[in-house]
Amino acid sequence: MTFDGRDVVVTGGTGALGAAVVGALVEGGAACTVPWLHENEAERFPYRESKQVKLVGPVDLADEEAVNRLFGGVPALWASVHIAGGFAMAPVAKTGKAQLMQQIDINLVSCFLCCAAAVNAIGHTGQGGRIVNVSSRPALEWRIGAGMAAYTATKAAVAALTVALSEEVAKDGILVNAVAPSIMDTPANRAAMPKANYDLWPKVEEVGATILFLASPENKVTRGAVVPVYGKS
């Protein structure tokens, strides 16, 4: 995909999927702005020395002012990819309000605020653009969300936000979509499930390729999609 001269924000860009996306964007010629919350994220980020990457932090993506400052520092935003989020495994009976609100902030509020800021920033260019959110498989297949209902509900909200927003901004040339990954093949997931069949899990580069297409100028018509990226799992 060609992103020559295009500015792209990638939240969660220092994680496994995010780094794969940033790496592909850099290869495609994009200038990437990548926010971080904890300093160790920036320290281990493989593209921290790239001239095409601007690391910004610390940034709390659930803080509206911080998000607006982040996007205000991007010269001419073309695309915004919202990978940042968090997972919590717990049954409803053992999930308190604090844990629920944490999932809402990490997954829904951060995505909502970044979408709003991205729409405004892209709108200022008058050239249209792309927004890609990251939902999850349980968000589309609710029954497999048993035991992680707070996570499932917030990721389902991300899917609904994606589709509703796509209708709002299509007239402005902004195409909004999401991907819904199953369990991806990452070091953290391997450590958590050492007996799983990793061959069935989609690789972060494969999920990243779908994100890249949806964020690219080559995507001329797809909007309002929540694309399953399950691989063989």
Task: Give the containing element (helix H, strand E) for 37.
Answer: none
Domain-embedded: residue 167: yes
What residue ranges of the chain have pLDDT lower than 70? none
CATH number of domain containing 37: 3.40.50.720
Return all residues near 101 (Cβ < 8 A) that are at least 6 apart: none
Q: Which domain holds residue 192?
A: 7-229
Residue in 73, 79, 32, 72 with CA at minimum distance from that of residue 52: 32
By DSSP bridging, strand 226-229 and strand 7-11 are: unpaired
The Cα–Cα gap between 96 and 107 comes to 17
Is the CB of residue 226 less than 8 Å from the CB of residue 177? Answer: yes
Domain-embedded: residue 1: no
Q: Which residues are catalytic?
A: 135, 151, 155
Domain-embedded: residue 24: yes
Domain-embedded: residue 133: yes
Domain-embedded: residue 69: yes
Helices (H), the chain: 16-27, 39-44, 64-72, 97-103, 110-125, 137-140, 149-169, 187-192, 204-215
As to burial, measured by CB atoms within 10 angstroms (0-12 exposed, 13-18 middle, 19+ buried), residue 189 is: middle
Domain-embedded: residue 195: yes
Q: In the chain, how many domains are there? A: 1
Domain-embedded: residue 2: no
The Cα–Cα gap between 148 and 151 comes to 6
Is the CB of residue 226 less than 8 Å from the CB of residue 220? Answer: no
